[in-house]
Structure 1
């Protein structure tokens, strides 16, 4: 084979060493010996009609001639070394790319999982709020049915029915649970790291009797405009009385420094002015002597002007705090303001 042909074959992408089954650094005798052994295996006479075997037989001859020619062998070795280095570099690059791809996929899975947990927590919160609202609605309905049943069975008088408008001392509040629920939030660090449902109930029992409590799944969020997010816990406390819930919203954050915020779960009750109170009426000595002005002032109480007392018609909302509850909240608020003013005056005098 001419030197030009050998130089051309020296650029081949085939690995002649592997083809002949010899090591990279080997002698000419080993190359010749390996060629004789391998060529017998792929000789066309032993493999008639097999084109791929015949092609490999000719490739073995080219490999032998290139490796036995010093100049062609040197050129082939350089090309082979460059090709192997490129393959190694490509393999390294593919490995890094594969690792980067896996890292990105893992991060994306983690983000989706975290987002899914946040959505689950939000849905759980919404379900709990709906449950509280529905439970309050059910209780109001049961109370109305009970009142109607009592009126039918006992035939209560007007004054007895009027007294039922307001809850006497010691009776549980008829305000829905959602309106008696307080929401507290704290950072999961320091004293707040171990704050759980039981400790939350113990803390807020200071303000009144508690029906139930719930601590939601922690989530990361920014607090007070801080740059980095913190792990924040959220708890719901359902008080038996809206007066206790009002006291907790007003004083809990000042009492317990670990709480980041304390506020109403639904809406703040309106205590700007006391609820309207029904007028106090005195029963007439006899039906016939009932003053006309008294009868005409309250239509529907007397029937056909005969003096007989009919069933009164009331309009009130069990969703609103009672007069007693509003009064207690207003008194506590006034007392708190008075104490704060005394503290400010004392501090000013000390300066």
Structure 2
């Protein structure tokens, strides 16, 4: 980043631009950025020529204030300015005029003083580093803003909001096992002497999982390193995070359900058919013929039992059950080949569709 651009940042009140004080945390800074960015995003203000400039300034403020080194350099310069303003306020009008004239001449003669030059250079280096790294946090926040704007547009067009997902879950029978808010347990490798906690801070985990939905709480265990519990607002967000998130490539996450895991209720289809007290596995049922008569529709099923065949022996029959379902009079009967006990007259196996 050029020196002129860094000096332009020094003339801006980054905290005032986001509407926060100098002690704001990274989480509060990101929250303020989202609120401001939504109101002045160029996509939502196509007729406002200043919207793009203001959105760019908000992005610069987020870049500097969410990076500890860049923020420290900016705070140092701001503190020096405040101290100078405090000293000026103590001077009377005459002495103040003399001092301002003297400082104006000193600035012209010593435009590149050692301390000012070093502070400006430090800020330039930090901002340049952010640009080289692609400013992942800024890109992530802007992506979330665009997604939220897209969701608002879809809600206005379809008037459905989040009802589609709820209806789909109801159709599939997916629901939480209880009324508690869904929680996931995160684990990762972390040595005792690692001050970075394996690369997973509270703010980083919050930002990492917020892309799946609203995160209510992130609790990092103090007793057991490399462990955290994340509470989501919806089951959908927790389920997406559980299925898709893997964490850092160098130190992946192990994610498991702690509370509120959804379950899918599937209908149980009985595989047993019972007729007249007899048990017949459904795989033995073979639909042979369906025809329409003047009085009723009759469907025939053959149930073949595995037994030695005695076909051809006089006076004997091969054990061959035939199930006749007479839809006309709602009667069901079992008969041996050639014999029927239903209201119809006795018929041969061929008449019933038997072998």
Q: TM-score, normalised by structure 2?
A: 0.24
Larger radius of gyration: 1
Higher RCO by CA contacts (8 Å cutoff, separation 6 or greater):
1
Compare the two structures and name the one with the higher strand fraction. 2
Q: TM-score, normalised by structure 1?
A: 0.25
Which has a greater percent of helix? 1
